Amino acid sequence: MKLAIMGAMPEEIEPLLEFFGEYETVNYANNKYYVVNYKGNEIVIAYSKIGKVNSTITASTMIQKFACEKLLFSGVAGAVCDSLKVGDLVVATKLAQHDLDISAFGHPYGFVPEGAVYEEADVKLIDIAKDVAKEKSINLKDGIIVTGDQFVCDIERKNWIAKTFEASALEMEGASVAVTCNALNVPFFILRAISDAADMDASFSFDEFLKTSAKISADFVLTMVDKIIDAENK
Ligand code: 4EZ
C-alpha cells in the first residue's frame, strides 16, 4: 500500500527520514517529496511548509500525484486546555478552522456553506494509535484540534478559541489537511506533541521544545506504521 506521512516543518519530518535512512527525492510544486520503500510498501514523506494553504497543496499532492491511500500527520501544537503539557501527545478526533469567519452572515465560526465546522478523522487509525499507546504505556490523549493561519501567543485569543471550538490544542495545518483528505476520501490521522501553551511565552517555549516534541510525535507515528501495514494485509 501507499502511505503518506507529512509534517509542516523540516524538524517535524527529520526523525522520519533518519529512521528510514534511504529515500528517493522528488521535486514537485515547489516542494520536496521523499519516497521510501518499506517492507514492500511505498511511504511518501514531506514537510509542507507552515499554514493552511501549503498543507493543502502537500496533502493534495500526496494523494493525487503519489496515490497515497492513507495520510498521517506528525508535528507539534500549542495546548489550549490545562491537562496538556509540553511533550504530551494529542490525537485529533475532529478538526476545525478557528480563523474561518463569516459570522457576519449568521454562520457559526469555522463554517462556510456546503462545508462543516468539524472534519472527522479516521476512527480506525485512531484505534490503532490507542492500541499502540496501550502496548507501550504511552499517555495518548484525544481531543479537538483547531487550525488557523496564525501562531497563537495571546491568552485572550487562546481562551476564545478553546471555548468556541471546545479545542484541546491548536496549530496551523491540521484542519486544512482534514478537509483535503475527506474531500478525496482518504483516511487521515493528525498527531501532535505539545510545544507550548499558546500564551505570551509561546514563541520561547516553541523554540525550546520544537525538536524534542516533534521527535516524540514522529516516534509514535513510526510505531503505528507497522500496525497499519499489518491491518491492511489481514
Ligand atoms: C504550526 N506550528 C507552529 C509553527 C510555528 C515558527 C517559525 C505548530 C504550533 C502552533 N501553531 C505550535 N504552537 C503553536 C501555536 N501556539 N499557534 C499555532 O502548525 C512557526
From the list 88, 122, 171, 196, the catalytic residue is: 196
Residues 6+ apart with CB under 8 A from 207: none
CA of 48 to the centre of ligand 1 (A): 13
pLDDT at 233: 80
Average pLDDT, integer, range 67-75 = 98
171 flagged as catalytic: no
Please state the separation of Cα 228 from the chain's center in Å. Answer: 17
What is the residue type of 170? Answer: L
Q: Which residues contact 107 (CB under 8 A, 6 or more apart)?
A: 113
Q: What are phi and psi of 115, to 5 degrees?
A: -115, -160
Evaluate if residue 156 carries a pLDDT over 80: yes
Is 12 labeled as catalytic in the residue annotation? yes
Q: Which three cell numbers stand for residue 78?
A: 500549542
Residue nearest to atom 9 of ligand 1 (CA): 77
Which protein residue's CA is at the shortest distance from atom 16 of ligand 1?
198
Banded model confidence at residue 109, pLDDT cuts 50, 70, 90: very high
What's the mean pLDDT when you consider all of the chain?
A: 98
CATH class of this structure's domain 2-219: alpha beta
Question: Quick check: 234 pLDDT over 80?
Answer: no
Helix (H) or strand (E) holding 28: strand 24-28
212-227 pLDDT tens trace: 999 999 999 999 999 9
Q: Provide mean pLDDT across the span 155-174.
A: 98
CA distance 159 to 154: 9
